[in-house]
Amino acid sequence: MHDLLPGETEKWQSAEQILASVAKLYGYREIRPPVIEERALFERSIGTSSDIISKEIYCFQDRKGRNLALRPEGTASVVRAFVESELSHRKKITRLYYYGQMFRYDRPQKGRYRQFYQFGVELLGGTHPYFDGEVMEMLDAMLKKLNVPDHFFSINTLGCTECKNRYTEIIRDRLSGKRDSLCPDCNVRLETAPLRILDCKSSQCRETAKTAPGITEILCEECRSHFGQVQEYLLKAGIPFKVQPSLVRGLDYYTRTVFELYVKDDENAVAAGGRYDTLVKDLGGPDIPSVGFAIGMERLISLLEESTEKPPAPVYCIFMGREAQLKGIEIVSSLRNAGLMTVTDYEDRGLKGHLKEADRAGAKWCIILGELEMDKNEIVVKNMVTGQQQNVPVDDCVKRLKELVNA
């Protein structure tokens, strides 16, 4: 887990703003579910045999002995909130986006943290394959808007529940005679989650898995057509993609389309998602097929160019002596009310010390009010870059500074 400091936060804020603006352009509205949920919610949606639930979830009991968890992802919470609220009985299609911290006890390394941020979207209530395409197109638009070049989608289908179950049994059946060629983890997966063998880190496991048929060979007609139409949309929209038959994803709720977004040869996906046609129903809601994705913000931010924009320069106010400080309270307040970023320092540092601080704060303009100026009802306005200064009547100082700052 890490801190985000000033200097970084500006970059984050501008990315957050761009992501939200693109999501709004596609008709999405923000939802803010809580960070803590019942652990059972994640078990029922992500699956107890997944790495997230079996190894990575942060869970605890509250004072009443309830089993709770810090959310490891956003989809389950959004679906829970959807089911519990009136959103699920209103419209046919609901488009939601969310942003915030997720928690997974992952092995920390580049691009993998224990607290990380996701920007996610969920389109609840769309069955047509073009929705899958449009969701991916929106993600593509977000990366374009952020000037992230060379990104492409890896896509696959897991089929509907029937196809997925049939395929799971085929993999289990074909590979159970080859246990010796599978790593210890995959021997366990053979029982708990056979499809995860397809994307095991061990190349020997992946090679062994290739001896079984690919999912496209066993899909029902509807699933085949669905996947075909998703690709049709992507081709039409000019979205770069590759079909990756070993892409299975680590969360149980996916059905049919799954995808990951990569940039250049980075091995970590920047974003990932897919369709989850039964999750809303499984969590007690109506039968509403849905699709969505989440962007890993740390991974995204690491791809963004350093901003060349300088942080805004404050007007720095120096008030020397008690009388001037009292008058200063009014002046600083009117400068801020006029929309000028203003800082001041109440410590007694002497003029030199204050000017040094003003420099450190990056101020371009400085105002100085001392006893002498108080007597004349004037204020000194100093340009910190050129060193030039002018005296201005105190009552005109806000107007004058506005002109100078905005010149």
Which residue ranges make up the site for ligand HAM (CB under 6 A)?
Answer: 73-75, 104, 106, 111-113, 116, 118, 120, 122, 269-274, 292-294, 296, 298-299
In the bound state with ligand HAM, the residue whose beta carbon lies nearer, of 85 and 115, is 115
Amino acid at 237: A
Could you tell me which of 217, 220, 215 has the C-alpha nearest to residue 248? 215
Smallest distance from the beta carbon of 103 to ligand HAM, in angstroms? 9
In the bound state with ligand HAM, the residue whose beta carbon lies nearer, of 111 and 370, is 111
Smallest distance from the beta carbon of 146 to ligand HAM, in angstroms? 14
In the bound state with ligand HAM, the residue whose beta carbon lies nearer, of 33 and 314, is 33
In the bound state with ligand HAM, the residue whose beta carbon lies nearer, of 202 and 302, is 302
What single DSSP character describes residue 184? H
Smallest distance from the beta carbon of 58 to ligand HAM, in angstroms? 12
Read off the tokens for 65: 């002995």
SS3 139: helix
Assess contact for 121 and 293: CB atoms under 8 A. Answer: yes
In the bound state with ligand HAM, the residue whose beta carbon lies nearer, of 57 and 271, is 271
Whole-Å CA distances, 33 to 64, 73, 74, 79, 119: 22, 11, 8, 10, 13
Who's near 35: CB < 8 A, 6+ residues apart? 70, 71, 100, 101, 103
The residue of the chain with the least Cβ separation from ligand HAM equals 296
In the bound state with ligand HAM, the residue whose beta carbon lies nearer, of 99 and 293, is 293
Smallest distance from the beta carbon of 233 to ligand HAM, in angstroms? 17
Smallest distance from the beta carbon of 272 to ligand HAM, in angstroms? 4
Smallest distance from the beta carbon of 115 to ligand HAM, in angstroms? 8
- Bridge partner residues of 97 (DSSP): 30, 121
Assess contact for 277 and 290: CB atoms under 8 A. Answer: yes
